[in-house]
Amino acid sequence: MRILSISSLLNPTPPNGYGGTERFVHQLCNNLVDSGHVLHVLCNEGSSGGKYNITRTSSNTLLDKTKGLIKEFNPEIIHINSKQKEILKYLQDINTPVVVTFYNNFRENSSWVGIIENAPKHFHFTAISNSLRERVIEALEYHKISIDPTKILVSGYGMDVSFYTNSIHETPKDYHIYLGVIAQYKSVVDIAKEFTKLNENLLIVGPCNNEDERKYFDEIMKYTKWKNIEYHGETKNEQEKINFLLGAKSLILNTGYDPKESDCHEAFGLVMLEANSLGIPVLGYTQGNIKDYIKDGFNGYKYRKISELGSLIKKLKTSDMKNNCIEHAKNYDIKAIAQGYSKIFEKIISGSKS
């Protein structure tokens, strides 16, 4: 297949630090090339690329470069990995099949709703998890929009699991960790507040990238006055992130727990996969993909109330989930995920020719 992939332009592909979508696009395209497909990726101007061909672009030149590549490369299918409205509008008027993948939480007021409603027949949509697909359908139903369910597929999400498993080394486990962006929808304050009642250490790692979240960040910092709660900041690189995870007794995810952010569901939660790949169990609020990914007593535990954390931490002390976590993570290895995308693309191309 000749595949044109339009990556997110927010970060380079692959990213130097944070950038889950760009990292996934990079690994997916590398694996599709390994399977014999021809890939061309439109990406951020700072991108270094991989085994695939790249065209660097800014948002200002994206439309012109997309038009040029479609003419020169003649792709059999176009894969969209971010919301680029002018590109989506342009692609409505060509015959090449288009696949749009959703990566982020899907709220009822998402502007994607209108795009899906008005999409032509050669547009297809995929979600990276079953729970995200459910959110998309719920939003459409909320607006009384009917759509053929086969038009929204679950394409999956993953990473190079072996890169993490090969990084495992024995490390004293001294704390439980929250690792991710600092934002109210991640409900980090609730985690910190609960740890003031526990005889366990909490390490909070991640950046506050949004000035609108500064007040929320300051609220979290108040809890670092407790001796058992520490904030580190943003990780410098992948190895530092791995080292932090290896030193953890568990990873804690609490997305959507804050009542003001109850409409926010974890679309996938890549950090869960990263932790499990290192043998670290996950404790998570049972909403979004967390409810599907965590298998209670196998690779972690789910909870409905943050007050359950204390008892779940006690359960972790009586069971060794390391091997289970690693085996579970292997289900999301990028090689298997890439095969799934390949089948989806091939089926769509075949259908467009019939």
Q: Do 177 and 318 belong together in one domain?
A: yes
Q: Do 341 and 268 belong together in one domain?
A: no
> Which DSSP letter does residue 194 get?
H
| Rounded Cα distance, 119 and 332, in Å | 30
How does DSSP assign 102-155, residue by residue? E-S---TT-THHHHHHT--TTEEEEESSHHHHHHHHHHHHHTT----GGGEEE-
- Enclosing H/E stretch for 24: helix 20-34
**Boundaries of domain holding 312:** 161-331
Q: Do 152 and 169 belong together in one domain?
A: no
Residue whose structure tokens are 């390949």: 342
Q: Do 319 and 220 belong together in one domain?
A: yes
pLDDT along the chain (354 residues), means of 10: 97 86 97 99 97 97 97 98 94 96 93 94 96 95 88 95 94 95 97 98 94 96 98 92 97 98 94 98 97 97 98 96 98 97 97 78
Strand-pairing partners, residue 303, are: 285
Q: Could you report the per-residue pLDDT of 265-297, keeping only the tens digit for each?
A: 999 999 999 999 999 999 999 999 999 999 999
Q: Do 152 and 194 belong together in one domain?
A: no
Residue 354, pLDDT score: 66
Q: What stretches of the chain adopt beta strand conformation (E)?
A: 2-6, 38-44, 53-57, 77-80, 98-102, 123-127, 152-154, 175-179, 202-205, 229-233, 248-253, 282-285, 300-303
Q: Do 166 and 294 belong together in one domain?
A: yes
Backbone angles phi and psi of 124, in degrees to 5: -130, 150
Q: Do 172 and 293 belong together in one domain?
A: yes
The CATH number that applies at residue 196 is 3.40.50.2000
Task: Provide the number of structural domains found in the chain.
Answer: 2
State how far Cα 353 lies from the chain centre. 32
Q: Do 24 and 165 belong together in one domain?
A: no
Q: Do 243 and 259 belong together in one domain?
A: yes
Q: Do 129 and 239 belong together in one domain?
A: no
Q: Do 172 and 95 belong together in one domain?
A: no
Q: Do 48 and 123 belong together in one domain?
A: yes
Residue 17, pLDDT score: 73
